[in-house]
Amino acid sequence: MADKNSEKTFKNIYFTESREILDSMEVSLLALEKDTADEESINSIFRAAHTIKGNSGMFGFGRIGDFTHVIENLLVCVREGSLAITANMTGLLLECHDFIEILLNHYEGKEELPLDAETEALFNELTVRLNTYLPGSDTEIQSSVSGIKNGSFNDGTTGSADEMYVRNNCWHISLRFGKNVFKDGLDPYSFINYLSEKGEIQSIKTIYEDMPAGDKMNADLCYLGFEMDFKSSISKKEIEDVFDFVSKDCSIKIIPPNTSIVDYVKLINELPEKPMKIGDMLREVGSLTDGELAKALELQSEHSALKDQAPEELLMGNILVKENIIPKYIVDAAVAKQENIKKREEANSKLIRIDADKLDHLINLIGELVITGSNVKQITESEDKIGIAKAVTDMSKLIEEIRDSTMGIRMVPIGETFSRFERVVRDLSREKGKMIELKILGGDTELDKTLIDKISDPLIHLIRNSIDHGIGIPSERESAGKNGTGILTLNAYHETGSIVIEVSDDGEGLDRDKIFNKAIEQGLVRPDQVFADHELYQLIFLPGFSTAEEVSNISGRGVGMDVVKKNIESLRGNVYLESEKGKGTTVRIHLPLTLAIIDGFMVKLADSFYVLPLDMVTECTEIDNEELNSKEGGNYINLRGDVLPFMRMREFFREPGEEPEKPKVVVVEYSRKKFGLVVDDLVGEFQTVIKPMGRIFSKLQWLSGSTILGTGEVAYILDVPKLIQNVRDFKYNEL
């Protein structure tokens, strides 16, 4: 049993390290794409392929070793100087990088399972394309390509026509008419004839699905379906319009030219590593329409009684296959992707790289704590009260240092996360026909690993929006007097107890009038309302709000920005947006440094205790109650010549009892602005272990958590950014 456990542990390490090597390989490939003469990047890519090949052989993953060996052969020629790096070659190597990830996902947890037909087809296709760069392999390459197109793989296996088919400059149309087409007085072949007027139907296969035996067949019902290859220059929308009259009663799937089933599987595997339902996943890659998803969801609700027999997601997959909405192997790929995402999330949550110096420091502190603990025990046996007090003080300092050191272990540089977006920017900018350079600043800024894991998805949304809507194509930028290459910047820095992450672009910026008119159209604002720019731009974060004239596969559906805000607020953060038309847009995210322990500053209101993040507290002062009550028309005081807006916390939280004669003002700073919070009394600094409030308190806007005091009482942790926002909203700072 011990040997099996050890083997499992080593294999887990293999998969973890292989993915880390792949991350490094991707960084080097992107660098090589910018500078094809970069020898260090070439050597780094070679080392990555060589290491993965060697490690794969140790664990018996022969197909991974075979594939990386082909990559290694190509890189040997490059290193020797007999082969020059080209843009097409780096693009192919990036595809190979993605395929190695597919192979790792395939073997993780199911080592003995052979590759499925689609993965094997992609294996052969990429191998063939790699070999085209090597001399003396033309015959072998042509044979391999021919084998794929004719429906057989290089290893002698075969697959169905749908599995093997690689379309060549043709739309592939999969059409299933509804049962009541004849009853509605429509002729299926009339639609086919009309389609032929729009282009050339190169092949057509009639499908008779669910047709019963002759004695049971209803002649009034339609059992026809078609699989067609259609060559034309018209758009997908124009093809859909041909079948507009029957679109609600039939199932139509239109696959673009040069698309293969393997491409869909690849798109599924390239989806972001975030939890997604099968239906959403398939819709994201374009293999499932909104109508098809709605139909499947309706059928799923009808079969709700089967949930006890199969998980909800598996039930959805079964329905999609049974209703011939999606081929089984695409659904299988989506299910496998879900499993891989879950495994990776579990692995990422359990693993963290720790700097050896940080670990050594922590061990030394624990050693000192053990010694101090022994000292305390000895002193307590005597009557030396001064010695006891000193020993307790020393122990408290050590505990604080250990806490800081332990929290430091959880802190990791955000630069690694930023670097992963280079590939996203590269692929999306090419897809949109744009030239975009990604600049990374503040990569050394450290953030709690838990936050880093959860911030990636919101950043992806923001990057996609900048690429799709912010930065224009080169010709448009040049006509506006800008450089044809757009700049997308990711920046991170610390600011008053929080970390700030900025996503900015030098694109067109936001159109204030367009946003305002769209908001009027959707009934969100009145035409006579007056907004500052930053207030109006916050409407973008509302669900369903979008000014995009066209919906793309990247953005424009009115979803995404509201998800960004929701996810960030769930991390006790805030998001702000600044933009100037013609110059660009900046989205600024403020996050706490950690979700676990903070240095707090405790205050008292009546009989209740509240904690403020110490890093946001700049100073405390005392003020007469009469002076506070003398303010007419505005809550503000003169703080050494500066106007300081303030909030009466006792009034805000409706605490009972009389106010003290001399209340205290705690001056807090957030997002470069200062505000005063009027409290009854100051307790002092307090090390705060953050405890979640629980679901029943989830609607409390001004509290970010709670903590337990030494007496067993509960103290509430104030959400300073939300309180400051309240000061703004109620115009406490108006003069």
Q: How far apart are CA 334 and CA 317, in angstroms?
A: 9
- Of residues 710 and 553, more confidently modeled: 710
pLDDT-based confidence at 505, cuts 50/70/90? very high
Kindly state the average pLDDT of the residues 623-641: 71
C-beta neighbour count of 694 within 10 angstroms: 8
The stretches of 351-472 forming alpha helices (DSSP H) are 356-380, 385-410, 415-431, 449-465
Is the C-alpha dihedral spanning 707, 709, 714, 715 positive or negative? negative
Q: How far apart are CA 713 and CA 605, in angstroms?
A: 14
- Of residues 210 and 144, more confidently modeled: 210
Per-residue model confidence (pLDDT) at position 225: 81
Kindly state the average pLDDT of the residues 701-726: 78
Nearest in space to 421 (alpha carbons), one of 451, 447, 381, 458: 458
Q: How far apart are CA 215 and CA 289, in angstroms?
A: 36
Kindly state the average pLDDT of the residues 579-599: 81
Nearest in space to 95 (alpha carbons), one of 73, 57, 122, 66: 122
pLDDT-based confidence at 487, cuts 50/70/90? very high
- Of residues 151 and 312, more confidently modeled: 312
Q: How far is CA 155 from CA 106, 123, 350, in A?
A: 19, 11, 39
Bridge partners for 597 per DSSP: 689
Q: How far apart are CA 612 and CA 596, in angstroms?
A: 15
pLDDT-based confidence at 271, cuts 50/70/90? low
Sheet of 636-639: strand order equals 617-622, 664-670, 673-679, 642-648, 636-639
Nearest in space to 464 (alpha carbons), one of 368, 552, 588, 579: 552
Kindly state the average pLDDT of the residues 723-735: 53
pTM: 0.57
Please give the full DSSP string across 545-569, using - where no structure is assigned. ----SS--SSS-SS-SHHHHHHHHH
pLDDT-based confidence at 616, cuts 50/70/90? confident
pLDDT-based confidence at 490, cuts 50/70/90? very high
pLDDT 10s digits, 420-470:
888 888 888 887 888 999 999 988 888 877 788 788 878 888 888 888 888
Which amino acid type is present at position 70?
A: V
CATH number of 597-729: 2.40.50.180
The mean pLDDT value of the chain amounts to 75
Nearby residues of 616 by Cβ (< 8 Å), 6 or more positions away: 496, 497, 498, 668, 669, 670, 720
Tell me yes or no: is domain 2-113 CATH 1.20.120.160: yes
Residue 306 has pLDDT above 50, yes or no: no
Kindly state the average pLDDT of the residues 520-546: 80
pLDDT more than 70, % of the chain: 74
Of 30-39, 69-78, 216-225, 628-637, minimum mean pLDDT range: 628-637
User: Do 171 and 239 meet the contact criterion of CB atoms below 8 Å apart?
Assistant: yes
- Per DSSP, the three-state class of 639 is strand
Per-residue model confidence (pLDDT) at position 301: 64
Q: How far apart are CA 493 and CA 542, in angstroms?
A: 27
pLDDT 10s digits, 97-156:
988 988 888 887 665 567 777 778 888 888 888 888 876 544 333 333 333 333 333 333
Bridge partners for 201 per DSSP: 230
User: Do 449 and 348 meet the contact criterion of CB atoms below 8 Å apart?
Assistant: no
Per-residue model confidence (pLDDT) at position 491: 93
Residue 210, by phi and psi: left (phi above 0), alpha (psi -120 to 50) or beta? left
Per-residue model confidence (pLDDT) at position 551: 45
| Domain range annotation of the chain | 2-113, 171-338, 356-412, 414-592, 597-729
| Token pair recorded at residue 626 | 């009469």
Per-residue model confidence (pLDDT) at position 730: 46
Please give the full DSSP string across 120-178, using - where no structure is assigned. HHHHHHHHHHHHTTSTT-HHHHHHHHHHHHTTB-TTS-B--HHHH-B-SS-EEEEEE--
Per-residue model confidence (pLDDT) at position 489: 93
C-beta neighbour count of 134 within 10 angstroms: 17
Pick from 18-27, 144-153, 160-169 the range whose average pLDDT is largest. Answer: 18-27
Q: How far apart are CA 569 and CA 591, in angstroms?
A: 9
Per-residue model confidence (pLDDT) at position 258: 54
Q: How far apart are CA 432 and CA 625, in angstroms?
A: 62
Tell me yes or no: is domain 414-592 CATH 1.10.3720.10: no
pLDDT 10s digits, 388-425:
778 778 887 888 788 777 777 777 788 888 888 888 88
Q: How far is CA 347 from CA 342, 350, 566, in A?
A: 9, 5, 25
Q: What is the dihedral of CA 693, 697, 698, 700, to 10 degrees?
A: -110
pLDDT-based confidence at 504, cuts 50/70/90? very high
pLDDT more than 90, % of the chain: 3
Which amino acid type is present at position 223?
A: Y
The stretches of 160-289 forming alpha helices (DSSP H) are 161-164, 188-196, 236-242, 261-269, 278-284
Residue with tokens 């929308």: 237
- Per DSSP, the three-state class of 495 is strand
Per-residue model confidence (pLDDT) at position 262: 58
Residue with tokens 């424009």: 556
Kindly state the average pLDDT of the residues 506-531: 85
pLDDT 10s digits, 335-365:
777 666 666 655 555 556 676 777 777 888 8
